[in-house]
Amino acid sequence: MIMTAFKSRADVVSVPPKIIFEPTLEGFVYLLTERAVVPQSQMAALQAAAEAGELNYFQRIALRTGQIITGPSDYVDRLRNSVIIAGLSTLFSVILGVFAAYAFSRFPIPGKDDLLFFILSTRMLPPVVVTIPLFLMYRQLKLHDTHLGMILLYTVFNLSLAVWLLKGFMDEIPTEYEDAAMVDGYTRFQAFYKIVLPQAATGIAATTVFCLIFAWNEYAFALMLTSDDARTAPPSIATMLGRGGIEWSAIAAGSLGFLIPVVFVTFLLRNHLLRGVTFGAVRR
Amino acid sequence: MRTTHVHVKQTSYETRHLRWVLSDRAIVHLFIWPTLVLLICMNVFPLFYSLYLSFTDYSAIARQAPRWVGLQNFSDILNDPQLWKYFATTGKYAFFSVGLQVIVGFTLAMLVKEKFRGSGLITTLILLPMMLSPVVVGLFWKLIYNPTFGYFNYLLGFTDPSKGPDMLASRFAGKPVPDLALWAVVIVDVWMWSPFVMLLVLSGLKAIPEYLYEAAAIDRASPWFQFWHITLPQVLPLLLIAILFRTIEAFKAFDLVMGLTGGGPGDQTELIAVNLYRQAFLGQWQTGRASALAYIILIVIIAISNIYIRFLNRLRD
């Protein structure tokens, strides 16, 4: 896949598949730009310049493919949407999750187990089931295809994960520290943010990253609840197939740019991964 | 917000001062309600809303109010042979993909159990697939499966596209082979999620006390005996959790299939969640009927989970 991203169009579809090839950035250029066909009059000028040997990289591509670059493509917008929506929703999920997890972890709450199970069960629903009524709700509230709507949705979507994970981390912090602090005259709230939060820092970091990844990768909601303004990268990578033949090198480049952060993060997270994918139900 | 007026007496300082302090009860309410309110607005309310819609004849793009039709939608769905077929496809997919994941995941776990040089890197590489976006993974495998220039056939040794399998079109050497496309989806799902089973099995393996094996070695037990009577029973609870999670996910399977086949060829990989999407949005907009189908799927998932959890609890006792 990494290889495909750096192949030229001809190399992608060669038979048998090429293992060794001349890498180009053509895929990335296709991906990130809008292009138009070069008019005949300009082609002649380009060819003249080529013979004189004074072409830059983009002009060379223009000569080879007969297209010139006219501006940034939609994909740049989509990627920005992905960053904004995933980032902000993660921030909200984690903040709300920290509070709720602390309360669940430290206080006797009537019906605690039922509440926690309810919170977990929201993650068991197939997204498609919730999307139908949400779609109608969002249309009424004018939230369809808005950043705010998507951020709200992803916040809730990740909240259950955040609460479960963080509760698991906080259960491991001994209560003695807080108790001692409160004996020394700290209020409950002070004890929470001066003692518990610093101790739960690794857990909070891991939770943040999980929420980021899930929001970053989410496809179903994004496909059904956005159309253009707030569309994120996964659905748009998927629809790139439809336009102007299958630009495999562009799709590969798009996917690659989209996956690199995840690869990096997975490496950081490998010790917490088990907890993340089982909602903290299983300890390592 | 309830605040209580607390009179704090600090003997160490001999100072007295008054503070406004949040009581524990106020804190609990303050900390939990935002989360609950959000979940109720975005999950519980929509569920009730779609329950109501499932008893109506309604389309989201028609300019008509929902018309109450009672159980009509449900009886239509349950009498539709097509839908039974999609359920069967989903069941088949769940059975094979989860089964294979258990086998592959277990094997992987046994292999990487011992620490060796570079095991951290290997583990990261193995775990990577499940953190990737399923729809993008689907697209990539579409390229890999391509009969002319994909690596799949190339690595299997089919260099001539007319003689090799075309997985996503369910053809082998030009002749249609039923369900080949479904197997293509199963293969990708196994590639993606076997690591998850591996993780759970690994954590189970690490928890097995060493003395059990030592005792078995003294009794000259065969490796097979050790596996069946020590390893498997100890790992089984975790393995069943893995199976539960994966089964639920298989019934929710949507984005991978959309990226890979879009339900095709024909309707060979039309899993139930994909069909639900098609009925609800893609050109059909049968909102009422789709809501009813969504509820049926929900009931199936809840039923399966319950059977599993009962089984798990019985094992624990």
The answer to whether the bond into A198 is cis (omega within 30° of 0) is: no
What confidence tens digit (pLDDT) does each residue in B11-27 have? 444 344 445 566 788 88
pLDDT above 70: residue A19: no
Please check whether residue B40 touches A, CB under 8 A. Answer: no
Chain B residue numbers with beta carbons less than 8 Å from the beta carbon of A237 are 135-136, 139
Closest chain B CA to residue A268: B124
Residue B119 placed within a domain:
yes
Chain A CB contacts of B119 below 8 Å:
none
Assess whether pLDDT exceeds 60 at residue B139: yes
CB A63 within 8 A of CB A47: yes
Residue B56 lies in a domain: no
Task: Provide the shortest C-alpha distance from residue B237 to chain A (in Å).
Answer: 11
Asked if A41 and A220 count as a contact pair (C-beta separation under 8 A), the reply is: no
Using the predicted structure, report yes or no on whether residue A202 has a pLDDT greater than 70: yes
What average pLDDT does the segment A164-186 reach?
89
Do the domain assignments include residue B31? Answer: no
Q: Give me the residue from A13, A100, A124 closest to B301, CB to CB.
A: A124
Is residue B236 a contact partner of residue B316, using CB atoms and an 8 Å limit?
Answer: no
Instruction: Give the three-class secondary structure for A164.
Output: helix
Between B177 and A283, residue with greater pLDDT = B177
Q: Mind listing the pLDDT tens digit for each residue in B144-187?
A: 887 776 777 777 777 666 677 777 777 776 777 778 889 999 99
| Domain of residue B107, residue span | 71-316
Q: Is the dihedral of CA B47, B51, B57, B63 positive or negative?
A: negative
Q: What is the rounded CA–CA span in Å between residue A272 and residue A172? A: 14
Query: Are B133 and A234 contacting, i.e. CB atoms less than 8 angstroms apart?
Result: yes
Q: Band of the pLDDT at A22, cuts 50, 70, 90? A: low
Q: Which of B24, B27, B245 sits opposite A278 (nearest CB)?
A: B245
Cβ within 8 Å of residue B98, ≥6 positions away: B243, B246, B247, B250
Residue A69 sits at φ, ψ, to 5 deg, of: -85, 130
Q: Judge if the upstream peptide bond of residue A261 is cis by omega within 30 degrees of 0.
A: no
Q: Please, which pLDDT band fits residue A79 given cuts at 50, 70 and 90?
A: confident
Nearest to B46 among A126, A134, A263 (CB): A134
Residue B199 belongs to a domain: yes
B135 Cα to chain A: minimum distance (Å): 7
Q: Does B139 touch chain A (CB under 8 A)?
A: yes
- Tell whether B28 is covered by a domain: no
Residue B140 sits in a domain whose CATH number is 1.10.3720.10
* Chain A environment of B46 (Cβ under 8 Å): 130, 133-134, 137
A-chain residues near B196 (CB < 8 A): 277
For B252, the closest of A126, A152, A155 (CB atoms) is: A126
Nearest to A188 among B8, B27, B139 (CB): B27
- The answer to whether residue B6 sits within a structural domain is no
Number of domains in chain B: 1
Whether B238 sits inside 8 A of A234 (CB atoms) is no
Confidence category of residue A70, pLDDT binned at 50, 70, 90: low
Q: Is residue B53 part of a domain?
A: no
Instruction: Pull the structure tokens for residue A202.
Output: 């690794």
Q: Is residue B186 part of a domain?
A: yes
Q: Inform me whether the C-beta atom of residue B4 falls under 8 Å from chain A C-beta atoms.
A: no
Do residues A232 and A85 lie in contact, with contact meaning Cβ atoms separated by under 8 Å? yes
- Summary mean pLDDT of chain B: 83
Q: How confident is the model at residue B133 (pLDDT cuts 50, 70, 90)?
A: confident
Which of B41, B139, B163, B196 has the most A C-beta neighbours within 10 Å, making it the best mutation to test the interface with A?
A: B139
